[in-house]
A and B are shown apart, each in its own frame.
Chain A
């Protein structure tokens, strides 16, 4: 048989899925053991036990200075920034993307502007944001919004333009006004895409969040990683990175489930 036609069974699939993760852990274990054998004080690849200790210290023991459980307070700080920023970006993208896609006049007005803004590297704007908006939460949230909103707007506007022309004509022959068509024909078909769009922007959003936190913050996952970097505390950094990854995976998965649950038709289309 051709390779393109060979499909793994269920058990094989699971095994294949786990293999790269297992390999990574094993490689880490070997590397760590080798380095520690050479120099017991090595900090680069701490032993599994030190990682567990670090997790215990960060997540389950109150901090001596503040009395907080650092991992959780950092997570809360980061997530609240992320949620606020993504909420704002989503709202902006939904409204702007829809009007750009639907109304030729607004498209002529805004589409080139959004395209231009989306080319500005957001991190280059970070100093300006800190100068103008101060070092507080506003600047960080703004950075994320500027970083992810233009891409979302363009994606949604494109999606609106991709709706078959026949549908919009049909809606007009059913007596729909622009407002009604926006509400009953365009919006519902855009929402599933909005969720997908949000999923794709999770990566950039985390990037901007951590960049902002690295530079100016007093809590947050990014802040902590860059703080302990000074002491070469890889035993804290590794679990934090894993935890951020896990959070992103969960958000990604949950958003997709949400889409299927709320818009069941959006999965029928693909014959899935």
Chain B
């Protein structure tokens, strides 16, 4: 469905080799957590998958088709910051993807089409727990709310692949646990292959089906430029987590997860969430 295959991918910026020899197959509906020291090329890796950057050598295919060298609607993304549009309200942000798809010239929707799109957007907004905040601007939301908004905004496109770059890094542990629950549910419910960069090992093992690590094999200062990071660890989580199925062994053992409805501290009223 949405298998990503990287074959001997290298990425260099000028003289500096950032990534080398990355060969990796990411199964459809996997949840890959990517960890590694700062500056080792995790964001660069996501940029390659996004199509924002092209590999210097090697190929990346999505379902056997080489990636287009441009971001597209089949790959959604949530960055650590700046993922939502400051000039649009919560509703406007979530709606934007729909609008752009349906209205190539005017980039606006009217009448019945607009109502239908709003309906869909509202459902998604409810799903990420932002009901009640539809008319707020991002600057009026907390960091956690903004990231949930970014998720909803990306998910309305029904992307095959979702790329997350330290999306929850700036959030406090309570809110983070809450978003983890949400993230897990969304992954179970939608046809998504997820690649998430994180600095937090615990997060990686809580959410992932597979944890991979990048590391530079040689890290002496004088060698740094000439040797890129390689894939140094590749761990499948045991017992396996499978999208859409609850694990019989140890359902979500890693975290003392706080239920979503209790930990929520924003304006969204509780209980009317679609789940």
Which residues on A are within 8 Å of B, measured CB to CB?
164, 166-167, 169-177, 179-180, 183-185, 188-189, 263-266, 268-269, 271
Q: How many A-B residue pairs have CB under 8 A?
A: 84
Nearest CB of B to A194, in Å = 13
Beyond A170-B83, A173-B73, is A268–B140 a contact (Cβ under 8 Å)? yes
Instruction: Point out the residue from B73, B77, B86, B159 that lies within 8 Å of A269, measured CB to CB.
Output: B86
Beta-carbon contact of B100 and A180 below 8 Å: yes
| A151 CA / B41 CA spacing, docked (Å) | 39
Beyond A169-B77, A183-B107, A268-B139, is A175–B82 a contact (Cβ under 8 Å)? no
Residues of A within 8 A of B71 (CB): 169, 172-173
Residue in B77, B85, B87 whose Cβ sees the most chain A Cβ within 10 Å: B87
Beta-carbon contact of A174 and B73 below 8 Å: yes
Instruction: Point out the residue from B79, B86, B140, B153 that lies within 8 Å of A189, measured CB to CB.
Output: B86
Residues of B within 8 A of A170 (CB): 77, 79, 82-85, 153-154
Beta-carbon contact of A265 and B87 below 8 Å: yes
| A156 CA / B52 CA spacing, docked (Å) | 25
| A188 CA / B93 CA spacing, docked (Å) | 13
| A26 CA / B87 CA spacing, docked (Å) | 48
Interface size class of B (residues with CB under 8 A): 20 to 34
Residues of B within 8 A of A180 (CB): 100, 104, 107
Beta-carbon contact of A166 and B83 below 8 Å: yes
| A265 CA / B99 CA spacing, docked (Å) | 21
- Chain B 62-87 against A: per-residue CB contact (8 Å), 1 yes, 0 no? 00000000111101110101111111
* A270 and chain B: residue at smallest CB distance: B139
Residues of B within 8 A of A184 (CB): 96, 99-100, 107
Beta-carbon contact of B100 and A174 below 8 Å: yes
Residues of B within 8 A of A188 (CB): 87
Beta-carbon contact of B154 and A173 below 8 Å: yes
Residue in A172, A174, A188, A264 whose Cβ sees the most chain B Cβ within 10 Å: A174
Task: Please list the 10 inter-chain residue pairs (A to B) with the smallest Cβ-Cβ separation, ordered nearest first.
Answer: A175-B73, A268-B139, A164-B82, A172-B71, A174-B97, A166-B82, A265-B137, A180-B107, A166-B79, A188-B87
* B80 and chain A: residue at smallest CB distance: A166
Beyond A170-B77, A268-B139, A268-B140, is A175–B86 a contact (Cβ under 8 Å)? no
Is B19 an interface position by the 8 A CB rule? no
Residue in A172, A173, A179, A265 whose Cβ sees the most chain B Cβ within 10 Å: A173
| A183 CA / B157 CA spacing, docked (Å) | 19
Is B50 an interface position by the 8 A CB rule? yes
Return 27 A-B CB contacts under 8 Å, by A number. A166-B79, A166-B81, A167-B85, A169-B52, A169-B79, A170-B77, A170-B153, A172-B71, A173-B159, A174-B73, A174-B96, A174-B100, A175-B100, A175-B101, A177-B104, A179-B107, A184-B96, A185-B85, A188-B87, A189-B85, A264-B137, A265-B86, A265-B87, A265-B137, A265-B139, A268-B86, A269-B139
Residues of B within 8 A of A164 (CB): 81-82
Residues of A within 8 A of B153 (CB): 170, 174
* B76 and chain A: residue at smallest CB distance: A173
| A266 CA / B76 CA spacing, docked (Å) | 27
Nearest CB of A to B67, in Å = 13
Q: Which of B39-71 contact A (CB under 8 A)?
A: 50, 52, 70-71
* A268 and chain B: residue at smallest CB distance: B139
* B87 and chain A: residue at smallest CB distance: A188
Residues of A within 8 A of B105 (CB): 179
Residues of A within 8 A of B70 (CB): 172
Beta-carbon contact of B157 and A175 below 8 Å: yes
| A3 CA / B50 CA spacing, docked (Å) | 51
Beta-carbon contact of B157 and A173 below 8 Å: yes
Nearest CB of A to B118, in Å = 16
* A192 and chain B: residue at smallest CB distance: B87
Beta-carbon contact of A263 and B87 below 8 Å: yes
